[in-house]
Structure 1
Amino acid sequence: MDDHNRSQWLAQIRAWAQELGFSHIGVSGVDLSSAEPQLLQWLAQGFHGDLHYMERHGLMRARPAELVPGTVSVITARMPYLPRGTAPGWPARERARLLNPDEGVVSLYARGRDYHKVVRQRLRRLCDRIETLAGPFGYRVFSDSAPVLEKELASRSGQGWRGKHSLVLSRDAGSMFFLGEIFVDFPLTPTEPVSAHCGTCAACIDVCPTGAIVAPGVVDARRCISYLTIENHGPIPEDLRPLMGNHIYGCDDCQTICPWNKYAEAADIPDFDERSPLVGQQLVDLFAWDEETFLKRTEGGPIRRINHERWLRNIAVALGNALRAADAPQAWKIRAALRRRADHDSALVREHVAWALAQGGAETIMDANPGRGDSDAG
């Protein structure tokens, strides 16, 4: 196949991809050897935390042809996930949520359907169409679902550059998109990478509540709120709990502060529209969900990645943080909600509830009896 035909193929693949909800398609080669030293250094420093699978997979992440024998090219895709109809000024509105300590904040990407399924299903549909061009071919699709250096492949293929928050960043689309890959066994001409445009801006580094961005482009997962609330199965380190504010699943702070995200694209498909039980909800109400309610209201969404136990753990931390700033009536509500979980079957939940209750200091008479105020005197 000559270069002209390859170019025509890519144009057709991009047109089909757009119909399926993808905003951009690129192509990368399979030689990622230059990324191996940085990967090994990141692992050696322990920045992956308890993500032990990253150690087990080792350099396979940087070797697509070993992961899927016969791979010659990698088609990369990005899919926007801001809900349809998102209005300009959304970053400021999202940051305003952080100023209301009684509201539970769920990361934007987690408010709709589970992206793993959405992206992979649509990549498979794209492969069905590619087969009409190429004939039967070997392929595998991925989206945050295997030992794949997704951000490296995306940046090499021109999806964007690696921002200082380590995410792929585009001048046209910001960073609010999912990545996906198709490993294929036929050659395509790689698309050109783009230059970086962060300049001297360090807003993402400065805003990170827990200081998880330890150098430009380097994240210590052990301090990252997304890791702590999702990937971490055990207790959240006590020194980090006060820094987490009202984040209960994931964190978008480094993205909502990024100037390039004023260009972020909204999704073309309904899968990522917000599900109302997860947006603008009070912590005390979310904490009251029993396991059946949790499973029902997170059905089909990525929050199912954590169980009810870790859901309660995360909210307990946020309630503890809210308690420190609460007035007397609100403090009473928070304490009452926490006490109802104080004898929970899970030691993990009990520990975080006890910590949260301790954040209010000594309980006042008004905390214990919110109906007794000055109006009762005399």
Structure 2
Amino acid sequence: MDRTVLLVTNRRPEDSGGRAEKVATRRELLSAHGWDVAVAHMPEPYFAGFPFALWRCAGVGRTVDADAVLSINNPFHLHLGGYLLSQYLGVPWIAEFRDPILPRPDLEAGSPRWYPAAAVERLAVTRADRLLWYDGIQMADDYFERTYPGADPDRIVKLPFMGYRKSAFDAAEPAAYDRFSITYAGSFYEGWIEPYGFLSGLGSYADRTGDRDLTAQFYGDWDDDYGRAATAAGVEGLVDTHEFVPHEEIIPVLKGSDALLYVGGDDPDNARNVPSKLFDYLGARTPILALVDPDFRVASFVEDNGLGVVAPPDDPEAIADAIEALRSGAFEYDPDPELFDRYTREASAGRIADALDAVTANQ
């Protein structure tokens, strides 16, 4: 008989964006391992609405007779909700770190937000029945061992890269484009991950080669400052912007593009990050243009596996060279086919199901 996990998240499966897609996929993939997923939705405003959201999520947990609670950050307060719900329902709690809580480039130590974040991280490390964290987030392998030397290492489980949803990518037909298309799908982060370097590099490429028969597509975040930067670089006519679209709609776009843009920046705190976006790019089997510090882990992943071209994010001429390598065919996309089976969402979901089975084994 299937068991039920109460999933504490700030996204509903039907919402738009990548995080909502991950919730929907989680529900589908865990069902193959005998786990039904009931969504406990805790939306904004996070603090003012927290008591009501907690009360409503407790009602969901009672209704479905949940066997376990699984909370996912960010934001970090979702783990506080997971802990309180597990205590109320009397069931095990798994805290899943999809992102770090404390070692984050956008969270300054000692700031007002840092103290509650630190308290919630300690709560997860010391009270969760399992703490799961993904390979690829910007956190050192020995972070928990160094920061919490008394923590039980058997309760802290490193998951493989999240991967891509192989079944969805294999089934999708690629979109067709008349011009060479470079696509970015996802969010930008002010002062950290932004498209200014790419726009300058695209301008340098167009000026150098005279080639304007290409399109840079952005699905997701775009604002007036980015538009002004495109105009300043002389590429406003090459940029095509779109709102976020459901994940099943972006897959054909990714598969039909000629190159996929990844912007990783050069903040040292981001050096270990290999984000889930990269595995959707992998699943699309499309060359990657990675604008990231060449010493970062993601740069090595792209180059070592023959997945694309890397350029420093603040060097327009190097970015122009990378675009030219992709456009001319000088770069040959020829990764090991085994990669496409190794890094799948199906595989990582199996590890989560293993953790759920372990914490509920004595129920």
The TM-score with structure 2 as length reference comes to 0.27
More strand by share: 2
Larger Cα-atom Rg: 1
Q: Relative contact order (alpha carbons < 8 A, sep ≥ 6): 1 or 2 greater? A: 1
The TM-score with structure 1 as length reference comes to 0.27
More helix by share: 1
